[in-house]
Chain A
Amino acid sequence: MSLDPATVRRIAKLARIHLDDDDELPRLQKELNTILGYVEQLAEVNVEGVMPLSGGMEIAMRMREDVVNDGGYPEKILANAPDRIGDFFAVPKVVE
């Protein structure tokens, strides 16, 4: 499988990364295809009946008790914000 420029553009869009068409796009296309070419070898492995391993540890999840012991520090939440208005985060207006 080899990525064409349109696909690279679509992935970049999904990943929300602006790509410079003249320079970055062709370079990334080449690099991504090298990587995909390398991982192509996995096709030869027979995985019939094999369960996927998703996590680093396949044990049952621990659950915590329903207690309020976090939050309540809006100043800390907002302290790093590049833009805020009052106690809100601010972003360019979204038109829905």
Chain B
Amino acid sequence: MSYTIEGATGPWELVIGLEVHAQIISKSKLFSGAATDFGAIENSQVSFIDAGFPGMLPVINRECVAQAVRTGLGLEAHINLVSRFDRKNYFYADLPQGYQISQYKHPIVGAGKIEIQLESGDVRTIGITRLHLEQDAGKSMHDQHASKSLVDLNRSGIALMEIVSEPDMRSPEEAGAYLRKLRTIVRYLGTCDGNMDEGSMRADVNVSVRKPGEAFRTRCEIKNVNSIRFVMQAVEAEARRQVGVWEAGGTVDQETRLFDPTRGETRSMRSKEDAHDYRYFPEPDLQPLVLDESWIEELKCSLPELPDQKYTRLMRDYGIPPYDAAILVMERSTADFYELVVRGRDGKLVSNWMLGDFFAGLNRTGRTIETSPVSANNFGYLLDLITDGTINGKIAKEILEIMIDTGEAPRAIVEARGLRQVTDTGAIDAAIAQVMEANADKVAEYRSGKEKLFGYFVGQVMKAMSGKGNPALVNEALKKKL
């Protein structure tokens, strides 16, 4: 079932394309040697080049080019051996040169594709039109002073990849899945950290609606949406607005809009309207970017395994279900952790514990795999303790909590706290005798046929043994005694 918006005149189909600006991971900027770290003191990571001082000239950073090529390869895209930089001219307070150096006519990466998986299990292929390199602008702050806007140029000149999709998406879910997948891919490649809340990944969303079977209608571009959730909301809100306009007999104007998440609606961005004649022309300070085929081959060989490949391999090698594999490959660090732990252990046991209690524990303490106090080794040892019968599952959960809080090794916790599973039948029998004595009435009820009480006795015995009894042995012994 395809996604539609039900209007007064019938169903409307959505057409969505995304332009994603992804900040490239590099030590220095695209055209200058200034640093790129996030959150530095204002204007401290700015060279005279980034500030557009007179006589300053750009020199391209090889690593940024390599990152763009890696990303292109990750998107199974065509790499253009010759590309060019152009100037996009417009005036703004945070655009120091008065132009942005970008690739307009000849991008470094051409057509590619991304496969997305939907809730329904369907897989769809979204086309990538192109990927090009460009420099970021600085940052204007409008709410820090009563009568002034303040400009910080730390971001000015940081390398961006603009990744443009085909208008291939048809629902908010697909837009969300595309962005998530793109983010996963660039994170795997190490070409962008994908942190949308720090602005290192931002999306411009192109939305139009049409009656099923129609050609494309006019689209609107929603600028700078900074979370996946907002992208999905913005698509929905904008599509509904457009349906309203068309059905009221109006026409949708091609324009730039902003999404207001608090109101859940988009609004026209008039301030940028008069400035759309960008007067692109080839950047005369830079020659054509010519890539060596052997260099691209080298980059290709050093690419990490990508999520789609890893997904297939994890299922094959470790016998885990698609659902587990899909979650494990969403972040490369998660998959890496899994693979460290699973060596010599049962694949399903590891994924169950990782995706269940371990992730819950990390979430509870506000941590991630990267900041996890539990090392892969210790996590594996914990599972070993279960497998070899040293502890039972319930105790294992408790130990895992302690590991997450303290980072201690599981065996040390077991020893220090005496959590070793009790398999000594004498001790179990003693506990059972104690429980039966204290609950003579219930024993009688049980014996008179109220067999449901068996669980009660198990619980009481485990309690008497501080949870350390081997569940199988406890069950067995209880049955005998009762």
Contacts and interface: CB of A to CB of B under 8 A. Distances in A.
Q: Do chains A and B touch in the complex (CB under 8 A)?
A: yes
Nearest to B149: A94
B148 A85 contact: yes
Q: Which of B144, B258, B284, B287 has the most CB of A within 10 A?
A: B287
Q: Which of A13, A62, A91 has the most CB of B within 10 A?
A: A91
Contacts of B140: 91, 94
A61 B288 contact: yes
A91 B149 contact: yes
Contact of A92 (B149, B286, B288): B149
A18 to B, nearest CB: 13
Given A55-B287, A60-B287, A77-B51, A94 B33 contact: no
B400 to A, nearest CB: 41
Q: Which of A54, A64, A88 has the most CB of B within 10 A?
A: A88
- Interface of chain A, main secondary structure: loop
A64 B148 CA distance: 38
Contacts of A49: none
Contacts of B45: 71-72
A94 B151 CA distance: 11
Interface string B265-297: 000010100100101011010111110000000
A64 B66 CA distance: 12
- Interface of chain B, main secondary structure: loop
Contacts of A83: 148
B91 interface: yes
A38 B161 CA distance: 42
Contact of B49 (A55, A70, A78, A88): A70
Nearest to A75: B43
Interface residues of A, number: 40
A4 B281 CA distance: 25
A95 interface: yes
A85 B150 CA distance: 7
A67 interface: yes
Q: Which of B148, B279, B289 has the most CB of A within 10 A?
A: B148
19 contacts: A55-B286, A61-B60, A61-B289, A64-B33, A66-B27, A66-B62, A68-B35, A72-B34, A77-B46, A77-B48, A88-B43, A88-B141, A91-B140, A92-B149, A93-B145, A94-B93, A94-B271, A95-B142, A95-B271
Interface of B: 26-28, 32-35, 41-51, 59-65, 84, 91, 93, 140-142, 144-153, 258, 269, 271, 274, 277, 279, 281-282, 284, 286-290
